[in-house]
Chain A
Amino acid sequence: MSDVNTAMVQKYRNDFLKEVEENVEEGHWVKMCMQCGVCSGSCPFGPDWDHPPQEIFMMIRAGKRDEVLTTESMWMCTSCYNCIVRCPRELPITHIMHGLANYAHRLGIAPKMNPTRRFAKIFWNNIAKTGRVNELALSLKLYFMDGFMSGVKNALAMASVGIGMLKTKRLNPFALISHKGVKNPKELHVLLKKAREIEDRRKGIAS
């Protein structure tokens, strides 16, 4: 278990709701949930959540810290925003789910092998590097994230898609060398580093 996580457990003791309210994006909304279940019924990947959003909200109030932060549930969010527009209490549910996933990931207790967590990390590092998405590098990194052999297998399975994109000039085969992002990526790195520092300071997470 990470040091940051231990520090947070000690800081909040048994008050997980307070921990969520103070550290999770839009977390102060959690107590407004009235358990109607519309969010759970509206989710496109609903059946794939071990604990749908409505249940997550109740679990937070019941102090089930480990169960909430280590579940794969929030990582099933496709960002379709169905739950947000349908919630009768107008809770920003999508953002709370994103916030919980991000918080668990920052504490180092999110499910290690969850494919969306891993993809999200690859994606952010991809855009933070040059300021703009390098689609070729993104796909290759994703296919090869479990090593060379499985990478070749994944790439072959996706070959027809890749060939279609190449033929229609919607994929740059030379992007690993020729991809261009913003003019001064180093300046962007400075901004993102500073933003992270401020955010960590506000949330009491030492980096």
Chain B
Amino acid sequence: MAKKEYSFYPGCSSERKASASNYMVSVDAMCEKLDIKLNEIPDWNCCGASIGYAEGGELPRHVMNARNIALSEQNNPDQDIVATCAACWLGAKETADRLDASEQLLADTKEVLKEAGLDIHLKNETPIRHMVEVLIEDIGYEGLKEPMVKSLEGIKFAGYVGCQTNRPFGIDGESFENPMYLDKMVETVGGEAITDYDKKVTCCGGALAFSEPEKSQKQIKDIIEAAYDQGADMIVTPCPVCQMNVEVYQDQINKHYGTKFHIPVTYYSQLLTVAYCGNAKEAGLDGNIIRAKQLEEIAAK
């Protein structure tokens, strides 16, 4: 397989000792096995996330993302931008779309970026993609099978796609209401996918898990309950916010609702890394607060 190279936008939560640091660890291991080279955008900044709009407004938010795109165009020319975080992907892609649609906004953004000696060209020379697009479009399901050494047979996964990897942009050829790619990935590495998982695209509350915890935890409770109802051993997701929200509040939900939730919430990249013979550390499994013991057992074999 020829080496594929991308301009990589890791995002804040992927940094060392940040909330999705174990996602990053597993992405690194997965990409090494797939011969994918990620060239980090030097000096990237936050995308503004889904909550940035309230204080940040329109232009400052777009400037944040445009700065990243400009740095990518300058340092990693002719490489697609790839993000692993749903919000980073959405923020950058939305900015590119808006600037492309509005001459005024593009001119204003260019004027601002000039202060830092930067410029942005756009014209769709720099496609902005999510890591799962790279996997299913550039590598393909057959390609994803190639480095496979171990099967995840015997583990039943509820594929929780969530919101922002799925809407508003989504993955080409997938439906917003019932996207199948995550299930297909699970099956590719030998796991059992619950293809009709009820809460596959239900919102976990996103950033409002911080500001409206009760309302968000009601959502999270439904997401976990549906996974149990369908006999899932663990949940798998492509989104760092989904992962964190669905994993870390289980104790609080148990206290409030009298439930006994204790279900691991993993990343697709952890599944692939284990299937590609990565050890538990390489798969970032030591970063799961609720340990994914079945994956750890396969990794140890």
Contacts and interface: CB of A to CB of B under 8 A. Distances in A.
A81 B57 contact: no
A10 to B, nearest CB: 22
B63 A195 contact: yes
Interface stretch (A14-22, A56-64, A125-133): A125-133
Contact of B18 (A123, A135, A182): A135
A198 interface: yes
B116 A187 contact: yes
Contacts of A128: 56
Contacts of A125: 55
Contact of B57 (A48, A94, A106, A160): A106
Interface residues of A, number: 65
A101 B55 CA distance: 9
A161 B244 CA distance: 10
A192 interface: yes
A171 interface: yes
B115 A167 contact: no
Contacts of B216: 78
B212 A191 contact: no
B46 A131 contact: yes
Nearest to A92: B168
Interface of B: 12-13, 15-22, 43-46, 48-60, 62-64, 67, 104, 108-109, 111-113, 115-116, 163-164, 167-168, 170, 176, 202-203, 205-208, 210-212, 215-216, 219, 248-249, 251-252, 286-289
19 contacts: A79-B206, A85-B168, A85-B170, A98-B54, A101-B54, A102-B58, A117-B54, A120-B207, A127-B45, A127-B48, A133-B13, A160-B251, A167-B289, A170-B18, A171-B17, A187-B116, A194-B115, A196-B57, A199-B108
